[in-house]
Structure 1
């Protein structure tokens, strides 16, 4: 069996919020890593490449030839490519279904031993939500092309440079009266992005995980209102939280989508109506020997660094 140092892993989306952390955790574990990205200059800015076991390959998930070249000779592949707002030809279907299947198919043809596909908690091909439905269809497409693929379903992720926790913190600081999505009852189980990246790296060290699906949620479940209060408490803020009906949010999002760079979409409003909590019946962090860190712990570190 090849040693860890001989088992190279290709990370698609390796310059993204999760992907770049996956790269670092894989290297920390001793795996050679190829960062597959459309923007090789971004890879060089982020990683520098003083490490001889870390390299960048130019690849586009919509292009068959570049995918084939990127995965050739690899032991493992990680698909950490994601899309949260559709624009032009970049749609939930083209990225989460077609591109995911294309990558899984090429990984299978190249006889890659392990494919890890990053999806999301709640992914369901039968969901009325377009985003959730396409995530679910993507999982089915990946497994059809690569039967032993490992699916990673993280809850909403947070970290120092995220668009979730830090965005809420900035808004709480600016708005003495904070508009909540609905009555603030949606349940969330935020996962620290570094913990998710460590889990993905750990998967490559286990030999008996083929076709396993992991749901990765943080240590605490909050209602949206409770989470806002936790963030406000840690930041020593006392905002007034006002419930706003989802119907009003959808109308606002419809108009916001007309802007060149929409701050809010109807898809995002839909997602805030659905609980984002891991299933007790699915393996998670504990099965990989990881104790996930809490929002409070990481938020304190973020606030101390400001």
Structure 2
């Protein structure tokens, strides 16, 4: 049986679906009240990553897939990178050891590393180090921006493009991303359970193409056969507005998000498709889920 944290999220649901397709028994840690967000029938244990009986909840499992993570902080609600990236990972590792689990597969993020400059990436790196030093047999994945059915990234862009002849572009829009389909990510996590060569390795995952933000917008507009006008918003204006509004949950950006966006998100280490028997999915040819 495979224990999954973060199963009710975008990637988590796709991962659970893939595990079931591989005839794996799945047990998911789900916070009370969030059961409806899990779209597939699996064994559920209620609680959160900080439940004192977490090791007991993992009983009977042979591997742990740890997906918990956030993209922005809300300190007043105790939602911080330090707590949900670093502390949560440490708790998961300790519980896995107590439960006799020896296999740990971890979700990190492309852009993390010892030279990380944002707290998001710094804490992702700290979490990676905990996993690497845990003594467990680990595999760590660092995906670029993930897209697919039920995502927030392409779905939001599609909604704007469908409803308006204009779309705002932050800065010059020339920063590059390497969108990777959620099916690729989900399959990678599952295949790592069976591929011995993946033990104690870290993999960057991206799609087959690095695309500028402009190209991503154009590709989605082309999918809907719609002509749009890009409205470029100077970075100086975006930054000044973000400084004033980032503490409010209704505002979609933070200064950290802007820093990461402008830095780009492109794979540097190319071993993933050499190890995993997966065909890269091209962004332009995989937008059929957008309606």
Partners of 2:37 and 2:68 lie apart in 1 by: 18
1:15 equivalent among 8, 11, 31? 8
Distance 1:208 1:258, change over 3 A: closer
Confirm or deny: 8 A CA contact 1:105 1:146 kept in the other structure: no
**Deviation digits for residues 259-296 of structure 1 (CA, Å, limit 9, x no counterpart):** 343322222212211221112x3421442101132222
Distance 1:102 1:190, change over 3 A: same
TM-score normalized by the length of structure 2? 0.92
Partners of 1:41 and 1:165 lie apart in 2 by: 24
Partners of 1:286 and 1:184 lie apart in 2 by: 31
Aligned residues: 289
Confirm or deny: 8 A CA contact 1:108 1:145 kept in the other structure: no
- Compute the displacement of 1:146 (Å): 3.8
Partners of 1:45 and 1:162 lie apart in 2 by: 14
SS, match of residue 46 in structure 1: coil
1:28 aligns with 2:21: yes
**Residues 1-306 of structure 1 mapped to structure 2, 5 A cutoff:** 8-39=1-32, 42=35, 46-47=39-40, 49=41, 54-63=42-51, 65-87=52-74, 88-279=77-268, 281-299=269-287, 301-303=288-290, 306=291
* Alignment match, 1:3: none
Q: Which moves more between the two structures, 217-226 or 172-181?
A: 172-181
Partners of 1:237 and 1:136 lie apart in 2 by: 41
**Deviation digits for residues 103-133 of structure 1 (CA, Å, limit 9, x no counterpart):** 1222133331210000111112432211111
Q: Which moves more between the two structures, 233-242 or 172-181?
A: 172-181
> Gapped runs of 5+ residues in structure 1?
1-7
Distance 1:224 1:44, change over 3 A: closer
Distance 1:174 1:265, change over 3 A: farther
TM-score normalized by the length of structure 1? 0.88
Moved over 6 A (4+): none
Partners of 2:219 and 2:148 lie apart in 1 by: 16
Q: RMSD of the TM alignment (CA)?
A: 1.9
- Compute the displacement of 1:229 (Å): 1.3
Distance 1:94 1:128, change over 3 A: same
Partners of 2:32 and 2:135 lie apart in 1 by: 27
SS, match of residue 126 in structure 1: coil
Partners of 2:95 and 2:235 lie apart in 1 by: 42
SS, match of residue 250 in structure 2: coil
Partners of 2:135 and 2:227 lie apart in 1 by: 50
